[in-house]
Chain A
Amino acid sequence: MNKLFSYLVLLVILLSLTLAAHARGTNIEINTPAITKLKQSMQQRHGQLAPYYTSGAVGLTRDGMIAMRDANAVPLAQRQSVNALVAAENQDRNALYREIARANSHPEWEKDIRATFSQRWISLAKSGWWYQAANGSWTKK
């Protein structure tokens, strides 16, 4: 049930991001095959990441990425695999921002798209998740 809820939250976030991007007039076509593939990949990984968002081990950074925030919340033997999850998620996120900019025929918009996503990821994060404030400090939502 929790997993289902997590997927639902992610879906809402992705939809909202799409709407938000449209709202700022970037005319983003969010559903190119490449973008769909990236979103599916992120959605599949979200179930694995959600417990680490909740425990505070992983937080949302101010640049639209995620980072290992407090490794103490993860058993020693799992810290490397969480690192790998974070790296894979960040690869997908980087590719997603780039693809949206490309799909919009404006690769140079990647930075703005990243900034929009960053704000929306944080505003739509669940209560108790950690995010990085503009000054770089970690804050619990």
Chain B
Amino acid sequence: MLRSLLIGTFLVTMVLGYAVLAAPSHLSFIINDIHSPVFSAKKITANLSGGQLSQLKFHVGEIIIQGKIFRNVKFSCTKFQLAEHLIACADGSIHLPGFSTLAVAFRFIPHKKNLDIEIQSVAGESWRLALQWDVNSWWSVLSIAKGQVMHAVRWLPDIESMPIPAKGEVNGKVRLSGSMDGIARIAAAVHIDALAFSDRNGLRAGENVNMAIDFNAEHIQRNNKWQWQSEINWLAGEIFWQPLYFSGGGYNLNLAGVLSEKNIRLSNGKIASRDIGELDFSGLFARPDYDLVDFDLNATNLKLSTLFDQILKPFLRETAFSEMSVIGRSSFAWRYHQGVNQSLILDLHDVSLADQRDRFAFYRINAHIPWQMDGATIADISFLSGQVLRVPMGAVRVPLEINQFELRIPQLVVPVLDGKLKLENFIALQQDNNWRWQFHGELMPVSMKQLTRALQIQQMHGEISGVIPKVSYVNSTITLDGALLFNIFDGMVTAKNLKLVEPLGLVPHLTLDLAMKNIDLSLLTRTFSFGNMQGRIDMDMQNLELAGWRPVKFDAQLSSSAGSYPRRISQAAIQNISALGGASAVAAIQRSFLRFFEEFTYSKIGWQCSLRNNVCRMDGIEPASALEDFESQGYVIVKGGGIPAITVIGYNRNVGWQELINRLQRITQGNEPVIQ
């Protein structure tokens, strides 16, 4: 650098202002133009005056340093010394446009080749450079006290995403030494306090940041490389680096490596976080674009709760994992070589994770998951318990076969409440950056009592079980081929054409067709406290669609099952059926007659509801006009038969779904039904 300054092309015109015979009282120097690789300057004038030429005034019309232009730069000194063995200024001042006037003092001893410059501001800021050289070498120390970082702003490129310092104070020393060929050693030990910086949009910003930086570098002449090591301690403050936010410091970064013309090799890199743990890394970046060529990252025993909350969660904001809490420990090792992922080994130690919306949870996960680019591996994953969509699961141990981006589980049995879900030939693979998976299996009997309790819905009895020919997940949709069989209320329920869109999304959509056969009305009505009914019913529920687990569409048809069985209906049940119909529903019974009987007989029950746009369009077994005694606008829900017989007719064809649910809840919660 020094040489480059010295070998610049100079065009100098010097005018002696006063022809001397004796000692001059006035000297003027004019330099029209200076060019060098580091800076250029124009219209430089220097005037020496006063007794013993002790007053110096220096003016530069224009100076360009690293592309920055400064015009009308002034320097003056009233105690200037110019002698053979000393050139010095004890009380100079320099004025750069845009800066406050700074006090400057310098002392140059030519025969010792020693230069000492100190620049101070009124706020006590001081930058002192001590420079010494001999024929082949030079040494310098820059001592900074209360240095203001915003001086650096003028030298930074104007890029929207570049964080620019707004304030901050630097204290410390920077030592440079070298030869006439350039810098050979750098050693810096500085503290930066109360640093504030931000890019133009405030997406990379920091406030009150305190840090300590140690940096050492040495130039290796023989192969023209720089060998360096650094340590950065972030002690305090807050930093927002979209989308991450850190506060309070507690991070330590160690870097060491070699810089050459072709690449940067990192070795012995370490990031230590007080709240997370330590990560060790090394790598190779190709210049000039700093492309990543090799990278090794190793971490052991990281605290997952902080790692997830601080580092991972902000990147998962728009996924199903955005409201997840995680505890436990993790270790991992990632190897990237020649621009390709080679291997990743992830270990989880007693990890528990739970979605705050109760969509899923897994507790006490322990796992060893090795992945490698070439060849297959087997992962061992286990958890103690968990739940998906509120369905609890017991302990599971998964032997997961991994082959690049394909995962296989030959067989897995998941305890579900008192039953089991048996998965066979589970295959998951990544295609076009999306995962798809499939399996087939079997649901071994699960108690409806326990299941309904887990799902926090009306308790039911019976069992659910079935063979699952194929379940697949493609494009965020789970599709079930074949049928699921439920055994509830002593009858059989078949679920077909099941499709679940965005199962973990904000609004999961479930579509399926249900067919129920031979449901025991006595068990059903007892469960729902509806009033006793005896008999059996079939119910088809086609085109059932739930959005956000609430029904938006279905075509339901309920009718008495074929066969011979007792068909009785209690007075309470009749009243409740009538109450369900609302104010305009009429139970076609004689109130006086009703007083004498607790139970009636019927020949057939039938009810239909088509739900569209929140309205249930109802119908019955047949139009009421089919019965001689009634007018045509009604429909028969319960058709009498035997003695004493009862016939119930509905007149209200349309009812709001929510209103119907409210009525049902009032009835099943034991409120006294009211006959309208």
Contacts from A to B (Cβ < 8 Å): 29, 31-34, 37-38, 68, 70-74, 76-77, 79-80, 83-84, 87-88, 90-92, 95, 98-99, 102-103
A95 touches B240 (CB 8 A): no
B464-483, CB < 8 A from A:
none
A83 touches B243 (CB 8 A): yes
B552 touches A34 (CB 8 A): yes
A76 touches B552 (CB 8 A): no
Given A71-B203, A76-B205, A83-B242; A95-B505 close (CB under 8 Å)? yes
B317 touches A83 (CB 8 A): yes
Which chain A positions have C-beta within 8 A of B198?
A: 72
Q: Does B221 contact A (CB under 8 A)?
A: no
Of A77, A79, A91, A103, the residue contacting B506 (CB under 8 A) is A91
Which chain A positions have C-beta within 8 A of B240?
A: 71, 76, 79-80
Given A38-B506, A70-B201; A91-B548 close (CB under 8 Å)? no
Q: Does B374 contact A (CB under 8 A)?
A: no
B552 touches A33 (CB 8 A): yes
Which chain A positions have C-beta within 8 A of B506?
A: 38, 91-92, 95
Which chain A positions have C-beta within 8 A of B5?
A: none
Which chain B positions have C-beta within 8 A of A87?
A: 317-318, 322
Of B201, B314, B613, the residue contacting A80 (CB under 8 A) is B314
12 contacts between A and B (CB under 8 A): A33-B548, A37-B507, A72-B198, A72-B202, A80-B245, A87-B318, A88-B317, A88-B322, A90-B318, A91-B318, A103-B547, A103-B552
Q: Does B550 contact A (CB under 8 A)?
A: yes
A37 touches B203 (CB 8 A): no
Which chain A positions have C-beta within 8 A of B613?
A: 29
Which chain A positions have C-beta within 8 A of B509?
A: 102
Which chain A positions have C-beta within 8 A of B548?
A: 33-34, 37
Name the residue on A nearest B547 (C-beta): A34
Contacts from B to A (Cβ < 8 Å): 198, 201-203, 205-207, 238, 240, 242-245, 247, 314, 317-318, 322, 505-507, 509, 547-548, 550, 552, 613-614
Secondary structure call for the A interface = helix
Which chain B positions have C-beta within 8 A of A73?
A: 202
Kindly provide the distance from the CB of A48 to the nearest chain B CB, expressed in whole angstroms. Answer: 16
Of B247, B547, B552, the residue contacting A77 (CB under 8 A) is B247
A33 to B614, CA, bound (A): 8
Which chain B positions have C-beta within 8 A of A84?
A: 317, 322
Name the residue on B nearest A33 (C-beta): B550
A99 to B240, CA, bound (A): 35
- Which of A34, A37, A98, A99 has the most C-beta atoms of chain B within 10 angstroms of its own C-beta? A34
B317 touches A74 (CB 8 A): no
A103 to B507, CA, bound (A): 12
Given A32-B614, A95-B506; A71-B317 close (CB under 8 Å)? no
Which chain B positions have C-beta within 8 A of A90?
A: 318
Name the residue on B nearest A74 (C-beta): B202
Which chain B positions have C-beta within 8 A of A74?
A: 202
Kindly provide the distance from the CB of B502 to the nearest chain A CB, expressed in whole angstroms. Answer: 9
- Which of A29, A70, A91 has the most C-beta atoms of chain B within 10 angstroms of its own C-beta? A91
B318 touches A83 (CB 8 A): no
B243 touches A71 (CB 8 A): no
Which chain A positions have C-beta within 8 A of B547?
A: 32-34, 99, 102-103
B550 touches A77 (CB 8 A): no
A48 to B205, CA, bound (A): 23
B552 touches A32 (CB 8 A): yes
- Which of A71, A84, A102, A103 has the most C-beta atoms of chain B within 10 angstroms of its own C-beta? A71
Which chain A positions have C-beta within 8 A of B317?
A: 83-84, 87-88
Of A32, A71, A80, A91, the residue contacting B202 (CB under 8 A) is A71
Kindly provide the distance from the CB of A67 to the nearest chain B CB, expressed in whole angstroms. Answer: 11
Which chain B positions have C-beta within 8 A of A33?
A: 547-548, 550, 552, 614
Name the residue on A nearest B246 (C-beta): A80
Which chain B positions have C-beta within 8 A of A99?
A: 507, 547
A103 to B247, CA, bound (A): 45
Which chain A positions have C-beta within 8 A of B205?
A: 71-72, 76, 79
Which chain B positions have C-beta within 8 A of A80?
A: 240, 243-245, 314
Kindly provide the distance from the CB of B395 to the nearest chain A CB, expressed in whole angstroms. Answer: 33
A98 to B322, CA, bound (A): 20
Which chain B positions have C-beta within 8 A of A71?
A: 201-203, 205, 240, 242
Name the residue on B nearest A87 (C-beta): B317
B505 touches A79 (CB 8 A): no
B614 touches A77 (CB 8 A): no
A77 touches B201 (CB 8 A): no
A79 to B317, CA, bound (A): 14
Name the residue on A nearest B208 (C-beta): A76
Kindly provide the distance from the CB of B521 to the nearest chain A CB, expressed in whole angstroms. Answer: 29
- Which of A32, A37, A77, A98 has the most C-beta atoms of chain B within 10 angstroms of its own C-beta? A32
Which chain A positions have C-beta within 8 A of B244?
A: 80
A92 to B613, CA, bound (A): 21
Name the residue on A nearest B545 (C-beta): A102
Of B201, B207, B243, B314, the residue contacting A76 (CB under 8 A) is B207
10 nearest A-B pairs in the assembled complex, by CB-CB distance: A71-B202, A72-B202, A87-B317, A34-B547, A80-B245, A33-B550, A34-B548, A95-B506, A34-B507, A79-B240
Which chain A positions have C-beta within 8 A of B243?
A: 80, 83
Kindly provide the distance from the CB of B316 to the nearest chain A CB, expressed in whole angstroms. Answer: 9
A88 to B509, CA, bound (A): 20
- Which of B198, B206, B507, B509 has the most C-beta atoms of chain A within 10 angstroms of its own C-beta? B507
B245 touches A34 (CB 8 A): no
A98 to B507, CA, bound (A): 10
A103 to B550, CA, bound (A): 13
A66 to B505, CA, bound (A): 20
A29 to B198, CA, bound (A): 47
Of B201, B206, B247, B314, the residue contacting A72 (CB under 8 A) is B201
Supply 13 further A-B pairs (C-beta < 8 A) apart from A33-B550, A79-B202, A87-B317: A34-B547, A37-B548, A72-B201, A74-B202, A76-B205, A83-B243, A83-B317, A84-B317, A88-B322, A92-B506, A95-B506, A102-B509, A102-B547
Which chain B positions have C-beta within 8 A of A103?
A: 547, 552
Name the residue on A nearest B207 (C-beta): A76
Which chain B positions have C-beta within 8 A of A83?
A: 242-243, 314, 317
Name the residue on B nearest A83 (C-beta): B243
Of B245, B322, B614, the residue contacting A79 (CB under 8 A) is B245
Kindly provide the distance from the CB of A31 to the nearest chain B CB, expressed in whole angstroms. Answer: 7
Which chain B positions have C-beta within 8 A of A70?
A: 201-202
A49 to B611, CA, bound (A): 37
B614 touches A31 (CB 8 A): yes
A34 to B507, CA, bound (A): 7
A73 to B614, CA, bound (A): 44
Given A32-B552, A84-B317; A38-B614 close (CB under 8 Å)? no
Name the residue on B nearest A105 (C-beta): B553
A31 to B547, CA, bound (A): 12
A76 to B509, CA, bound (A): 39
A73 to B203, CA, bound (A): 11
Kindly provide the distance from the CB of A14 to the nearest chain B CB, expressed in whole angstroms. Answer: 17
B242 touches A77 (CB 8 A): no
A90 to B506, CA, bound (A): 12
Name the residue on B nearest A79 (C-beta): B240
Name the residue on B nearest A57 (C-beta): B202
B507 touches A77 (CB 8 A): no
Name the residue on B nearest A86 (C-beta): B317
